[in-house]
A and B are shown apart, each in its own frame.
Chain A
Amino acid sequence: MTMTVRPRERLLFEGADWDFATLQRIHDACEEIALGELGLDVYPNQIEVITSEQMLDAYSSTGMPLFYRHWSFGKHFAHHETFYRRGMRDLAYEIVINSSPCISYLMEENTATMQTLVTAHAAFGHNHFFKNNYLFKLWTDAEGILDYLDFAKGYITRCEERYGETAVERTLDAAHALMSHGVHRYAGKTTIDLRQEEKRLQERRAHEEQMFNDLWRTVPVGKAKKPGDIGLEKRRAALGLPQDNILYFLEKSAPRLQPWQREILRIVRHVAQYFHPQRQTKVMNEGTATFVHYKIMSRLHERGQISDGNFLEFLKSHANVVFQPSYDDRRFSGFNPYALGFAMMQDIERIVTKPTEEDRTWFPDIAGRGDAMGVLRDVWANYRDESFISQFLSPNLIRQLRLFHLYDDPEQTEGVLVSAIHNERGYLRIRRQLSREYDIGWTDPAIDIVDVDLAGDRRLLLQHIVMNGCYLQESDTKLVLQHLADLWGYDVLLQEIDSSSTVAKEHTASPRKIAQ
């Protein structure tokens, strides 16, 4: 680099205005730093400029650019719109889609500085995370998702034409209610390939049409086996029980579903699975993107590509993004994933470059290693929120955030116990507890399908393992169970099993008569 370049000439933009050439310059400058200096590895970028209304649209259909139609998206749109119109809530600055090319939305109202921030944040931070984190590699198919959603949208529209909007809406309602229990939590042998999915359906349909022969209807059926013969274990094995993926089980085994209903369950299940990694990596994903945008913006400023004024504008937005109110602040509503993730990553950078004695005892592997970006890239690739916090939340940060642990036992009438604070005795306990709060295996209720009464009334039996005496929310459970019974076609029983392995509570539902 030469020292004679006049900084004014190298500014990417001046003031707040931008045009498409500016966006291109911004992207190229960010890319130079992201790939050259930070060593990031990203999908090709596609940047789309949209209006605020379109941003609301995208918001309402879970951030996806194309999605099937359902009333609930209309509800979310109306909801967001009201808040936005009244000025009670800002729109998100950005939405970014885990696809290849990676699509980032920029709002036309943003200033040039904000466009730079969003580009650095989404097109490089999130993009790198999507491409490299093991959960996303395992569970999502960035190349196939948009085609798959296009297929899903078309398929559901065709279903509406053939079977009526009401029937499709009912199926979708039921599937949405069970969506949180429609993911495989543990990786199987196969990787996800959504294009294959789409082809598979078409092939199967063609095959069925070819093989259809009306004569077969009259072929006599062999003597039915007595269902009583099958032992419990065998039956459970045949049905793949116990099963925690309720949607999957229904799709495969519900006796009274039409083929198109099974396909809709499958679509909803794929969408749920696609978002599953995002649920487990909120802190890491936002932390990464925030860390990356902070790095890139600071470098741009250092290199004289952003003026002091615009850099101050950036710092103001950045400070808002990573603001973490205290528990007693009116604005407090839990941990801000941006703040926590960013703080932890900065802390890791500090540990790697300027460790204290404490850091050396707590993090012997990385303390003083010198290559902050290398360590972070490794972290981004191989952890999710739960393991990330349990490995890297340092005593230093616990002190800085002044974390403390409340133990709330309803039996304890005097009040809530402060069971650990930010001191030597508390670090480990706070770290373990906070990491647990980000483990969706721990936070989501554990519900399994355990048995089907094949010999009798085909009742489906589910069990919820109650932890810490916390039962399911009554009214919601009733509604979800009703949906479940409608799909299953027979009675459904949900037992809540408490710590002493006894059934503490039971919920039942019978299918409603639905005219197909």
Chain B
Amino acid sequence: MHIVDRRLNPRGKSLENRQRFLRRMKGAVQQAVKRSLQNRNIRDVLDGGEISLPIDGMAEPSFRRGEGGIADHILPGNRAFVEGDIIPRPPGGKGGKPKDAGEGDGEDGFRFVLTREEFLDVFLDDLELPDLAKRRLAETEEETPFRAGYSVSGSPSNIAVGRTTKLAMMRRVALGRPRREEIEALARQIEECEDEESRLALEAKLKSLTEKSRRIPYIDPLDVRYRRFENEPKPVAKAVMFCLMDVSGSMSEHMKDLAKRFYLLLYLFLSKRYKKVEIVFIRHTDRAEEVDEETFFYGPATGGTLVSSALAAMRAIIAARFDPAEWNIYGAQASDGDNAHSDGNLTGQLLREILPLCQYFAYIEVGEEGGDSSVSRSPLWMLYDGIRSELPPLSMRKVCRRSEIFPVFHDLFQKRDAQSRVTP
């Protein structure tokens, strides 16, 4: 008998099969992931999660008998029946087998768990940050030295001995520097030489050789090389996302829900691209305040509307905590489009100040369910529409239905040529 311990064998033998399965089911998985995004908290989504796929499309068919026809069954556990009894079929039952209740376990859909990475990969498959060229890789967290060839100058501790001697030898060979053995042999020859004439010739030769070896040094300063190091800065990309939401009385629960979904997608997206993502939640009525996630979405505040207050708060927070030289700043504003008439000028002015600091600013105008998402004549929309032509990183979309959130988001962030702009 032979015992083998296989526990340390490479894990994930089925990984390849699993990936093939996901690749094959790509479309269905994408649908399922989108569906599973509903009803989740922003940060929960990052844990990946269980999704369920429709069973068709990955069926493995075979020739099988269908329903119908005469069927015989042998069953255990008879207590009451005698031969000749007729058991009435359950109403609506097809086969009449008295065991239909427990059947079909797990067949309605096919559930399984995606890892966080798989989940995000599927979700963000073809999205990208707009204006990539402008993206700043800010603040160097650490610098690591790496070998960068040789240099002719440097500190003595960094002399590259091997490279130096190699160069010296190449130079000596090339310039024909006489070898020491050669000179010694010549000197011995001169001592042993009896003939005056040839001795003189030899001495002349020796003289020229010694002169030559003095002219061509064993190691020349030209040969010396130093190991060169360069410091590589390790960039740490950081991003901050400002969620601005109007919570005035005109915003219904449905509108807040739409906004929440949009923020959720944006957060997911940013956290995939950046090492560090901060979120700032700002809600506003006629005055703005920075709040936590819970309060942001569920807090029962209400009042009039002054959009400028939120923008002013955003500007103040940027100035205080997020240096635009270090942070990639994103803004997402959700509103129903209402604003006090008197506030228009101030809002426009603030937005013009903020936009140059931002990588991207998305304005989502939320409407009531069943509204028309193609047009908007709200004061805020008109104002922003005017600014968009002057300052590029602003996109605007109007959304009325839940199902539109993903397409709109997708549209705003999909890969596109550097030239083309986001248009509503």
Contacts and interface: CB of A to CB of B under 8 A. Distances in A.
Contact of B74 (A71, A165, A414, A433): A433
Interface of A: 20, 23-24, 27-28, 31, 44-51, 53-54, 56-57, 60-61, 69-75, 77-79, 81-83, 85, 101, 105, 108, 165, 169, 173, 176-181, 324-333, 335, 401-410, 412, 414-423, 425-426, 430, 433-434, 436-437, 444-445, 447, 464, 466-477, 479-480, 483
Contacts of A329: 77
B72 interface: yes
Interface stretch (B61-69, B201-209, B265-273, B313-321): B61-69
Q: Which of B1, B20, B81, B86 has the most CB of A within 10 A?
A: B1
A24 B3 contact: yes
B76 A327 contact: yes
A384 to B, nearest CB: 18
13 contacts: A24-B3, A44-B2, A74-B21, A78-B18, A414-B86, A421-B81, A425-B83, A433-B72, A436-B72, A464-B63, A472-B63, A472-B66, A473-B66
Given A78-B112, A416-B87, A476 B62 contact: yes
A46 B1 contact: yes
A326 B106 contact: no
B13 A57 contact: yes
Contacts of A54: 6-7, 9, 11, 13
B192 interface: no
A421 B83 contact: yes
B54 to A, nearest CB: 13
A179 B62 contact: yes
B378 interface: no
Interface in B47-65: 50, 58-65
A275 B252 CA distance: 62
Contacts of B63: 180-181, 444-445, 447, 464, 472, 476-477, 480
A479 B63 CA distance: 9
Interface string B88-117: 110000011111011100100011110000
B83 A423 contact: yes
Contacts of B4: 46-49
Contacts of B88: 414-415
A56 B14 CA distance: 9
Given A48-B4, A176-B60, A405 B72 contact: yes
Given A54-B13, A328-B77, A410-B70, 5 more contacts: A53-B11, A61-B14, A165-B20, A402-B79, A483-B61
Chain B interface residue number, banded:
35 or more
A71 B21 contact: yes
A419 B104 CA distance: 27
Interface string B1-32: 11111110101011011111111100000000
A418 B84 contact: yes
B82 interface: yes
Q: Which of B50, B77, B96, B98 has the most CB of A within 10 A?
A: B77
B82 A445 contact: no
A476 B61 contact: yes
B194 interface: no
A130 B13 CA distance: 27
A85 B113 contact: yes
Contact of B96 (A105, A408, A473): A408
B73 interface: yes
Interface in B227-272: none
Given A81-B112, A410-B68, A480-B63, A326 B77 contact: yes
B59 to A, nearest CB: 7
Given A49-B3, A406-B87, A410-B69, A74 B64 contact: no
Contact of B112 (A79, A331, A332, A474): A79
Contacts, number: 261
B155 to A, nearest CB: 52
A418 B381 CA distance: 75
Chain A contact residues: helix, strand, loop or mixed: mixed
Contacts of A48: 3-6
B74 A330 contact: no
Nearest to B2: A46
Contacts of B112: 78-79, 81-82
Contact of B14 (A51, A77, A418, A476): A77
A43 B178 CA distance: 80
A73 B102 contact: no
Contacts of B110: 75, 78-79
B83 A419 contact: yes
Given A327-B76, A414-B86, A433-B72, A473 B65 contact: yes
A251 to B, nearest CB: 18
A78 B51 CA distance: 11
Given A46-B1, A57-B14, A479-B59, A415 B87 contact: yes
A329 B79 CA distance: 13
A81 B3 contact: no
Contacts of B83: 418-421, 423, 425-426
A430 B110 CA distance: 38
B175 interface: no
Contacts of A327: 75-78, 98-99
Contacts of A420: 83
A261 B3 CA distance: 39
A377 B78 CA distance: 32
Given A82-B111, A409-B70, A330 B61 contact: no
Nearest to A435: B74
Given A419-B83, A445-B65, A332 B99 contact: yes
B102 A330 contact: yes
Contacts of B59: 476, 479
B185 interface: no
Contacts of A474: 66
B308 to A, nearest CB: 51
Contact of A405 (B70, B74, B103, B113): B74
Top 8 A-B pairs, shortest CB-CB distance: A326-B77, A470-B69, A74-B21, A74-B17, A473-B66, A469-B69, A479-B61, A327-B75
Q: Which of A23, A476, A477 has the most CB of B within 10 A?
A: A476
A135 B336 CA distance: 75
B72 A70 contact: no
Contacts of B197: none
A77 B17 contact: yes
A202 to B, nearest CB: 26
A415 B86 contact: yes
A169 B101 CA distance: 37
Interface string B173-199: 000000000000000000000000000
B77 A418 contact: no
Given A48-B6, A409-B70, A469-B68, A74 B22 contact: yes
